[in-house]
Amino acid sequence: MNHDPRSCVLWYDKPAENWDQALPLGNGRIGTMVFSDPINEKIQLNEDSVWSGGSRLRNNASALPNLEKVRKLLLDENIPEAEKIVMDAFCGTPFNQRHYMPLGDIEISHTDLSNAQFKRRSLDLSTAVCVTEYSAKGREYVREAFVSEPDQVFVMKISCSEPDGINLKIKMDGRDDYFDDNTPTDDNTIIFRGGCGSEDGINFSACLKVIADGGKVCRFGSFLVCENCAEVILILGAQTSYRHTDHLGQAVYDVSAAAEKTYRQLKEDHIKDHCALYGRCDISLEDNSEGGSALATDKRLERVREGGRDNKLMEMYFNFGKYLLIAASREGTLPTNLQGIWNKDMWPAWGCKFTVNINTEMNYWGAEICGLGELHTPLFDHIERMRPNGRVTAKEMYGCGGFVCHHNTDIWGDTAPQDLWMPGTQWPMGAAWLCLHLWEHYKFTQDKGFLDEKYDTIKESAQFFVDFLIEDKKGRLVTCPSVSPENSYLTSGGVQGALCVGPSMDSQIITELFTAVIESSEILGRDKDFAEKLRGMRARLPQPEIGKYGQIKEWAEDYDEVEPGHRHISQLFALYPADIISVRKTPKLAVAARATLERRLSHGGGHTGWSRAWIINHWARLMDGEKVYENITALLSWSTSINLFDMHPPFQIDGNYGGSAGIAEALLQSENSEIILLPALPQEWKNGSFTGLRARGGFSVSCRWEDSRICGAEIVSLAGGVCRLVSQKESCEILLDGKDVGAVYENGAYVFNTEKGRVYTVNCC
């Protein structure tokens, strides 16, 4: 596939001035940030399992003895007293989980240059190669860098137009002297070792090997020195005690094995691996920038902030999200955390953990629709790490079966409450929401073997709520205690609270979770009695209701929000990522969902990058293309750094992933067992195409359009089964090998049977 450089090459005419402007590389496990300073280059390093300490049990033994007391206080709306007890008796002990940490830095300095003419730095998303170009003393220099998944190493090549023009000092450092050692072991190798400050914690080793063409390489103090070389290649491997007892030996082996290959072989193997994933899907939007798409990326962003148009920049943002998922989440790695795998701080914001009251989930919203389902598996693996801990938390804190997790987890799958912050801490829905990703993977792939393997996990999450739910004063089954993530309310009596009974998001998640178990039971022929029990309980769960402002109620009671423009819009989980609310199936609720968004935005909502990304997906589900475009523009204008990283602020990667998913959602939807082409197409995107986007039910879809009208589409059936294609026209043709398949038009959709592996052509002109 030939990729348009206007939408897949980030480039700049000056080096990065700070970390938020550097360019990210990664192979799922090793992450680097490239600054491209021509004289004193820094490569900031991460490895996904460098965390602050070992596993520990943090469940508060005081929770269960106080559970019924807290429930009674909440049902009686004695909020302050309930929150006072929960703050002491339900918080984790200690209250913080482990946090993510950086690996270190590679520092590369030209010893014979004091200044240079910078030309260009770039990151090609289609090859995952970063290039820096500069000149000095009449010499031309080029650096190429990538992180190889096949060879599990970071690689950089520095070349010069003169055969003896490279003179460098190279060292490793950068962790604030945090129990680290960075000593050259011979004339071309540095070993960098360290730990994370706890005796039961994670230790790491990195091995950096320097290979020169011409000249010589030798050690000098804590540096390696390259003298009069024509070309220098750096190969770095990094491993930790999380995966390997002999992490130093494994890091050395990774580097040694890679060094047996030529640079060309390493690069070709890397690009082949990356392209196999990056090319799964593609979108193309007509350039509307009046020549602006030829500018450097930072200048293109500036033009958008000033009111300019740039479809190709939006296309690039989609591609960047796809690129970041490939770079940060590979089979066998940890799932993406708050910053993917890229973090410079020993004490990062919010611990750079897995925040599961939306952020971690948002990281994977684009995985299935972009045909990158195998990149979803690190999250699935982490759910299994959480299960044993979650069983203990469920039993010791709540006296329940099943397994539970609150609003954060860490490398060890910790499931106890995190922080001492009432609006966020006491939320028992994390594992449930994560388990819905297992169900989503099945819906996209129709892989019954996968569903059979993961059924017990989904069932066990549901079992917790069978035991945990209580009756409210209206006879409904509700969670208690809980919160609506990070938001607070005012009762009719003027009391402010966060802890509550039956927040709307909880009921929506449990509705989806119970539905997943019920339908899985039918598909697999398992647990009929348990499914029937869930069916009865599901009927007693609160469903989305319209409140006094015409909005979807956020709590079981129609409380006012303390902050009407709050960044979380949890009550619209039912709209996206769930499909409980939809324009076609529940039009009145869809109108109320619109009112909810308008109310949030009118009070300053969408002020964080990830919140704006969620809003894009909401508008897509409401089939409002102009609002989609408006909010993508806002995301680029106010929440995006020049390297396209999402700024919360500070940097959080969820907005990148969520924004990319929202662009795909505007072009293709498949909720409620229906495929909808171009459901939220902005007028600015009136000409374009996409290929390889995936739909639930096991379909790969491609489409092209002109003047906002579908010219043609292809649907590849990956699993067989019934296809329901929504169309406002009753004159579409559905063809197989040029023959009409005899689709039936009912309720605004063409319904037809498909055969696995066959391609169906759609003609709606």
173-187, 406-420, 613-627, 667-681: least confidently modelled range = 173-187
Asked whether the predicted pLDDT for residue 391 surpasses 90, the reply is yes
99 band by pLDDT with thresholds 50, 70 and 90: very high
At 659, which helix (H) or strand (E)?
Answer: helix 654-667
Q: What is the pLDDT of residues 169-216, one digit of tens each?
A: 999 988 876 657 777 788 899 999 988 766 778 999 999 999 999 999
Q: ∠547-553-556 over CA atoms, to 5°?
A: 110
Q: What is the pLDDT of residues 464-522, one digit of tens each?
A: 999 999 999 999 999 999 999 999 999 988 999 999 999 999 999 999 999 999 999 99
Return the minimum-mean-pLDDT range out of 388-402, 721-735, 751-765: 721-735
Q: Are 672 and 356 in contact (CB under 8 A)?
A: no
| CA gap 157, 285 in Å, rounded | 35
Neighbours of 369 (CB within 10 A): 25
Model confidence band, residue 221 (pLDDT cutoffs 50, 70, 90): confident
| Token representation of residue 470 | 């209580």
Q: Work out the average pLDDT over 266-276.
A: 98
> How sure is the predictor about 730, in pLDDT bands with cuts at 50, 70 and 90?
low
* 133 touches 457 (CB < 8 A): no
The whole-angstrom separation of Cα 62 and Cα 46 is 38
How many Cα atoms are found within 13 Å in the side-chain-facing hemisphere of 733?
A: 11
Q: In sequence order, what are the beta bridge partners of 213?
A: 231
Q: What kind and span of H or E run contains 197?
A: none
Q: Can you say whether the dihedral through the CA atoms of 692, 693, 694, 699 is positive or negative? A: negative
**3-state class (DSSP) for residue 555:** coil
Instruction: Please tell me the distance from the alpha carbon of residue 345 to that of residue 348, in angstroms, as a whole number.
Output: 5
Concatenated DSSP letters for 620-643? HHTT-HHHHHHHHHHHHHHSB-TT
- The H helix count followed by the E strand count for the chain is 19, 35
Tell whether the model's pLDDT for residue 334 goes beyond 80. yes
pLDDT of residue 179: 58
Q: pLDDT at residue 608 above 70? A: yes
Cα first-last separation, the chain: 27
**340 band by pLDDT with thresholds 50, 70 and 90:** very high
The H or E element containing residue 699 is: strand 699-706
The reply to whether omega before 650 is within 30° of 0 (cis) is yes
Task: Look at residue 670 in the predicted model and tell me its pLDDT.
Answer: 98
Distances (CA, A) of 403 to 56, 70, 377, 611, 751: 17, 21, 20, 28, 40
The pLDDT of residue 293 is 86
What is the pLDDT at residue 4?
86
Using DSSP bridges, classify how beta strands 721-726 and 675-677 pair: parallel, antiparallel or unpaired: parallel
pTM of full prediction above 0.85? yes
The predicted pLDDT at position 68 comes to 98
The CA distance from 625 to 327, in Å, is 30
- CA atoms lying within 13 Å on the CB side of residue 730: 5
Fill in the DSSP letter of residue 609.
H
Task: Give, in order, the Cα–Cα distances in Å from 440 to each of 54, 256, 313, 695.
Answer: 32, 41, 29, 11
The Cα angle at residue 68 between residues 67 and 71, in degrees rounded to 5: 90
Q: Which uninterrupted H or E stretch holds 503?
A: none
The answer on pLDDT for 765 being more than 90 is no
How far apart are the C-alpha atoms of 410 and 337, rounded to whole Å? 9
Distance CA 416, CA 408 (A): 8
Residue type, 425: T
Q: Dihedral angle at the C-alpha atoms of 730, 731, 734, 738, nearest 10 degrees?
A: 160
Query: What is the reported pLDDT for 175?
Result: 80
- Give pLDDT tens digits for 115-143: 999 999 999 999 999 999 999 999 999 99
What percentage of the chain exceeds 90 in pLDDT? 93
Cβ distance 325 to 657 under 8 Å? yes
Tell me the one-letter amino acid at 689: S
- pLDDT class of 410 with cuts at 50, 70, 90: very high
